[in-house]
Amino acid sequence: MVKASALSCPSCGASITLHAEGWAVTVACVTCGSVLDALDPNLRILQRHAERITFTPRIPLGTRGTIRGVPYEAIGCQRVTITVEGVDYSWSEYVCFNPYHGFMYLSEYEGHWNVIEKLRRPPQELSSIVRSMVKLDQRTFHHFQSANARTSFALGEFPWELRVGDAVASRDFTSPPFLLSAEGTDLETTWSLGTYTEPAEIARMFGLSTLDKSPRGVFANQPNPHVRAARRVRRVGVLLLGVWLLMFVGGMLLARDEQVFDGSYTYDRTRGESNALVTAPFELKGRTSNVELEFQTDLGNDWVYFALALINNETGQSRDFGTQASYYSGSDSDGNWSEGSRRSGVTLAGVPAGQYLLRIAPEGGEPLGTPVRYSLRVTRDVPSILLYLIALAALVVPILIAWFPAIGFENRRWMESDHEGATMSFPPDEEPT
C-alpha cells in the first residue's frame, strides 16, 4: 500500500502532500504560492511568490469528483491569461489525478466548463484560404482563436515543468460541444480535446453545488441551445410546406376555372328603376367553390355602382353584394391624368353547386352622364394564387424567425473569436458522446 508523501515547503514551512508522487513535476505551495521542484526530495524552490494569495480555486484542491465513471482528485489549478487588444482574459485550468487512470483536466472561464483529455494522436490539419480547420475522427473543427497563453498563477501539482510567467502559443478549434486545442510550437505541439460541460453537471460530478452558476456570455464550444428548436420548427415547417405544395398543385389542377355566363347591357340613368335586370339562369358545377364576377364598362368621367344578388334558382336563397367602377381622366398643366378603372370585379367564396341567376341593379353615377355600356363575365372556381401565397408566407416566415435566436447565439460566439462575423456553421444534430 502506497501512501502519499508528506513534505514541507522550503519557503514557508507549510506541509505539502504529493498526491501524484513520481508524476508531479512541479508543485506550487498552496500556502505561500512558491513554485517548487516536485521531483527533488527537498522540494527545491524554483520561484518564490511574494504576494498574498488572493485566488481561490472554485474546485478546492483535494476535492474528488467522478469524470466519465472514474474518480479523480483535483490536485492542481493554474490561472492562464491571454491578452487580446490590451485586455486580459483569465481562466482556470485544473489538474485532476487518478493513480491508475492518470490525468484529466478541467477548464473554467466565466462559469463555462470543459472536461479536457490529452490527445495521443494529432488531428489532421486541413488547408483553407478563409479559416484553418482540423479534422479528428471525421469531425471538422473551425479555427476559433490563437493566443499566447501565460501562466499567471498556480497552486498544487502539475505533471509538467510549470513556471509562473511562462507562455505558450495556443490555437483553439471549435466544433460544439468539442474544442480542440493545440499548445506549443509548430515543432512540438500537444493536442487536447475539451468537451463543453454544463455547470450543473460539473457541480454534480464534484458534489459542489456552488459551481452550478449560470455562465456569462457564449463560449467557443458551447452547444447552441437554439439550434434544436429551430431545427424542430424547420422539420415541421418542411412537412407543412409539402402539404402546402400538394394543396397548391392540387388546387391549380382541380380548379374548373370555367366561364359560366356572359352578357352585355346598358345603364341609362334616365330609365331609373327599370335598369335592374335578372340574368338567365346558369349552372355552377363541381365542389363548393368561388364565383368571380368581372364587369367591363365604357365609363368616362363617371362612376357606377352595381348592386348585385346571386340567387339560387332552386332554393330562392339570395346573396346580396355589390361592386363599383369609377373612371375619371383629363389633362392639366402636368399633362394627362386618369383615376380609377373601367373594370371592376368581385369574388364570392363558398358557393355550392346549383342553378343560379344574377340580379343586377346599376345605380349612381354623374347625374348628367351618358348611358354606360357594360358587360359581365361570370367564372366558376377560379384558382386563388394570392391565398396560397399568404399561406406560404405564413409557413415560411416562422421557419426563418425560428433561426434568429440560433443565429444571434452564433454571432455572440464568434464575436469572441479571431473571426468576428465569420460564416456560421451549425453543428450536426449529434449528442456529445
Partner 1 sequence: MTAPAPHATSCPNCGAPIRFRWAQAVQTTCDFCKSVLVRQGLDLERVGLQAEFPVTGSPIQLGLEGRWGARSFVVVGRLTYEWSRGRWNEWYCRVSDGSSAWLSDAQLEYAITVEVAPGGPLPDPASLRVGDRVHTDQHEYIVANLTQAAYVGTEGELPFTTSARSLCWFADLITENGHFATLDGSETPPLLFAGDYVTWRELQATGVREFTGW
**Binding residues vs partner 1 (CB under 8 A):** 1-5, 20-23, 25, 39, 71, 98-103, 118, 120-122, 124, 159-161, 186-188
Output the smallest distance, CB 172 to partner 1, in A. 20
Our CB check for partner 1 shows the closer of 123 and 199 to be: 123
- For 170, residues 6+ apart whose C-beta sits below 8 A from its C-beta are 82, 146, 147, 148, 149, 181, 182, 183
Q: Is the Cβ of residue 3 or residue 52 nearer to partner 1 in the bound state?
A: 3
Least CB distance from residue 160 to partner 1, whole Å?
A: 7
**Alpha-carbon distance 75 to 72, whole Å?**
9
Q: Which set of grid coordinates corresponds to residue 103?
A: 490525468
Q: How far is the CB of 188 from partner 1 (least distance, A)?
A: 4
Cβ closest to partner 1, residue 77 vs residue 134? 134
Looking from the CA of 156 toward its CB, the CA atoms found within 13 Å total 23
As measured in angstroms, the least distance from the Cβ of 137 to partner 1 is 10
Cβ atoms of 165 and 154 closer than 8 Å: no
Give the H or E element holding residue 236: helix 225-254
d(CA 205, CA 67): 7
Report the nearest approach of partner 1 to the CB of residue 421 (Å): 33
Q: Which is nearer to partner 1, 19 or 112 (CB)?
A: 19
Q: How far is the CB of 207 from partner 1 (least distance, A)?
A: 16
Residue (191 or 248) nearer to partner 1, CB: 191
Shortest Cβ distance from residue 70 to partner 1 (Å)? 8
Burial of 360 (0-12, 13-18, 19+ CB in 10 A): buried
- Nearer of residues 96 and 310 to partner 1, judged by Cβ: 96
Scored b (16 or more CB within 10 A) or e, 197-222 reads bbbeebbbbbeeeebeeebeebbbbb
Burial class of residue 265 in the structure, from the number of CB atoms within 10 Å of its CB (0-12 exposed, 13-18 middle, 19+ buried): middle
CB 163 within 8 A of CB 61: no
> In the complex, what is the shortest distance from the CB of residue 113 to partner 1, in angstroms, rounded to a whole number?
23
| DSSP annotation of 122 | P
The rounded distance, in Å, linking the Cα atoms of 304 and 336 is: 23
Place of cell 365542389: 287
State the DSSP string of 18-84: ETTTTT--EEE-TTT--EEETTSTT--EEE---SPP----SS-TT-EEEETTEEEEEEEEEEEEEEE
Residue among 160 and 337 whose Cβ is closer to partner 1: 160
- Judged by beta carbon, residue 168 or residue 391, the one nearer partner 1 is 168
Q: Is 259 helix (H, G, I), strand (E, B) or coil?
A: strand
CB of 427 vs partner 1, minimal distance in Å: 23
Beta carbon nearer to partner 1, 72 or 196:
72
Cα separation, 33 vs 155, in Å, equals: 6
